[in-house]
Structure 1
Amino acid sequence: MQSFSQFLRGALIATFAALTMNAAAADPLSDGAAAYKPYAVEHIGIALAGAKELQAAARAGDVKAAQAAWIKSRKGWEAAEPITGEFFSKLDEVIDAWPDAKQGYHAIEAALFSGKLADIAAPTDKLVADLATFDKELKAPGFKFTPQGLINGATKLAYEVGENKSKGGESPYAGTSIVDMQENVEGIEAVYKLVFEESLKAHDDKLASAIDDKIEDVEGLVKGDDLKKVDQAALKRNGEELAVMLQSAAAKLNLKKPTVGE
């Protein structure tokens, strides 16, 4: 899998080329939303591939391989989380229900990381089916992301990282809550840089740079592999500040102010 920086470089080059070729009719935000779609497709693809590997490992009775596959699938999903609830709310509810999960990732997690493979067969089959549906709908030629939906999703996730996930995370049995947050921040960064940053620079270069810096601050706070070492107060503050900045960016770009905390 290519790194995010490699993906971003290629996507920005392609977007700039499209704008240059059709400058008179260009809609930078819509072009950015189109440039973001391959990122989402790639990461939902990782989620689906990991779920299929989980399914195979569970059937083979290989606990360690099943656990590794669950983590792989989650990483893909969490990087795409700016769009999961905003554009695919019904699928999001069954794939990533939390904290009282009856199905999806977290219904599987507790049993899987206790070594109880017999308990995860049916929910894993359901997860694979739901992710396959998600993947198909996302890849459909007629499906397009809207700039408003993308700014909504990125803003809500920034707030969630600060307000909810900083309190202990959502993958306690797997012990990968910090990985969830790392992937979330990468996902927010992808939306911002691919869709909004260049347009925002034309309206408010200072705010554009401040958002970039704030994303780096949040990234720095979730580095490492031990959630207990995270400065949760600082993460809460910086996540919420990033959400407020993204709300301000929406106004500068003539988009509606995203709501958070609902």
Structure 2
Amino acid sequence: MKARLLAPAAVLAAASVALTGCTDNTTAASGDGAIDVVSTSDACTVSTTSTPGGTLKFNVKNDGSEVTEFYLLAEDGLRIVGEVENIGPGLSRDLVVIAPEGKYFTACKPGMVGDGIQAAFTVTAAPDGQEVSADRAELQANATKLYAAYVKDQAERLVRGTEEFAAAFAAGDEDKARELYAGTRMHWERIEPVAESFGDLDPILDAREADLEEGQEWTGWHRAEKDLWQPESGYTPMTDAERQEIADRMVADTKELYDRTQDLTFTPDKLANGAKELLDEVATGKVTGEEEIWSHTDLWDFQANVEGARIAYEDLRPLLVGVEDELDASLEKNFADLQALLDQYRVGDGFKYYDELTQEQIQELSAAVDALSEPLSKLTAAVVK
């Protein structure tokens, strides 16, 4: 019987939040209306857990010994609504965001690594008569800023996950490596168009055996995948030295990817086109079962591609409200319908293996991808107006 794989903690953030170091915060906000946040090495103390919607101001103070960051995350725990970085010990910085009514998470990240110290945060209805507005250029700039922060966050998580996976793989701990494989790859799959924009890194980290050109060296995730889920015949397992070489290179190349994401800039068309590229990845690789031909963990990749596309859409969504409401409603519905289908195949913290799905189930998923792709193809034109 195949061992089930675990989904990454980020996917479960909305359902199970790390509360270590957090308090039952009910203190009132500052006199100027700002919400006070105090970050230390093991706590993220927020002066209130609830505030009316509109323009929110967080005054973030670092009382710890390491540089810290502060985030306001959407209900899914993935989309970054606002963030402030590089707050040195003893320093304070403000975060100002426009947030409508809904459920969120606050998060401090001491040392600027890891999942951070998170807690639930609620935004209630805005006061009657209050209007929140921003011009289109400001909305476009905000969307690209938030997406850039998301890409950096996923790249950082990918580095940490790859280091853990590579250590297990090189050490011959196959059970642990198999357990880590799909969940770690989800960070790659969420930002796959960005990773693919670095033409030299994508083939050495994510090339499939079937796509290799003559004489091309095979490295990266799928080379390790085949060794962990070996064919029944005709395959020679890697030596310890070969595994170590593959593991070391995966870590080095992933760190290079992370370094390159730090200075990336985005435009609204890049976000919208990237979202469509992610759906195309699902249609051409995940639905066909060709991406994870040895492990059959395609549904993890499928989920991550859909999440990455949805994050880009949600960052751009303020540009649609009141302008392209019909397109917005169509995207919202089709994302929800596709997610509902995927949720049917969840098993514990992961998913069914792709070879366990019937042809009818695969066709149903493919149809849902096609239904979403049609309105998603109109997103770029709508947001660059």
- Residue segments in structure 2 that go unaligned for 5+ positions in a row: 1-8, 14-74, 84-94, 100-130, 213-217, 231-236, 346-350
Does residue 128 of structure 1 match 2:251? yes
Specify the structure having the higher radius of gyration (Cα): 2
State the Cα distance separating 1:28 from its structure 2 match.
Answer: 1.4
Q: Please name the residue that 2:140 is paired with.
A: 29
Question: 137, 153, 159: which one pairs with 1:48?
Answer: 159
State the Cα distance separating 1:179 from its structure 2 match.
Answer: 0.8
Q: Please name the residue that 2:319 is paired with.
A: 199
Question: In 2, are the aligned partners of 1:82 and 1:150 still within 8 Å (CA)?
Answer: no
Question: In 2, are the aligned partners of 1:43 and 1:80 still within 8 Å (CA)?
Answer: yes
Correspondence list, 1:58-137, <5 A: 58-85=169-196, 87-98=197-208, 99-100=210-211, 102-114=218-230, 116=238, 118=240, 119-137=242-260
Question: In 1, are the aligned partners of 2:136 and 2:319 still within 8 Å (CA)?
Answer: no
Once the two structures are overlaid, the 10-residue window that deviates more, 107-116 or 47-56, is 107-116
**3-state SS of 1:16 partner:** strand
TM-score, normalised to structure 1, is 0.83
TM-score, normalised to structure 2, is 0.58
Q: Which of the pair is proportionally richer in helix?
A: 1
State the Cα distance separating 1:26 from its structure 2 match.
Answer: 4.0
State the Cα distance separating 1:67 from its structure 2 match.
Answer: 2.2
State the Cα distance separating 1:14 from its structure 2 match.
Answer: 5.5
* Inter-CA distance 168–5: structure 2 relative to 1 (3 Å threshold): same
**3-state SS of 2:291 partner:** coil
Aligned length: 249
Please give the per-residue CA displacement for 1:125-173, whole angstroms capped at 9, x wherever unaligned.
Answer: 1111111001011123xx2122222211210221231343211141132
**3-state SS of 2:322 partner:** helix
Q: Please name the residue that 2:373 is paired with.
A: 243
State the Cα distance separating 1:94 from its structure 2 match.
Answer: 2.0
Q: Please name the residue that 2:303 is paired with.
A: 182
Q: Please name the residue that 1:153 is paired with.
A: 274
AA matched with 1:220: A
Does residue 234 of structure 1 match 2:343? no
AA matched with 1:77: W
Does residue 172 of structure 1 match 2:293? yes
* Inter-CA distance 147–10: structure 2 relative to 1 (3 Å threshold): closer
Tell me the distance in 2 between the aligned counterparts of 1:181 and 1:38: 22
* Inter-CA distance 244–24: structure 2 relative to 1 (3 Å threshold): closer
Please give the per-residue CA displacement for 1:221-252, whole angstroms capped at 9, x wherever unaligned.
Answer: 22322223362222222212322212212222
AA matched with 1:199: L
State the Cα distance separating 1:39 from its structure 2 match.
Answer: 1.8
Tell me the distance in 2 between the aligned counterparts of 1:144 and 1:221: 34
AA matched with 1:204: E
Question: In 1, are the aligned partners of 2:195 and 2:202 still within 8 Å (CA)?
Answer: yes
* Cα root mean square deviation, aligned: 2.8
State the Cα distance separating 1:91 from its structure 2 match.
Answer: 1.6
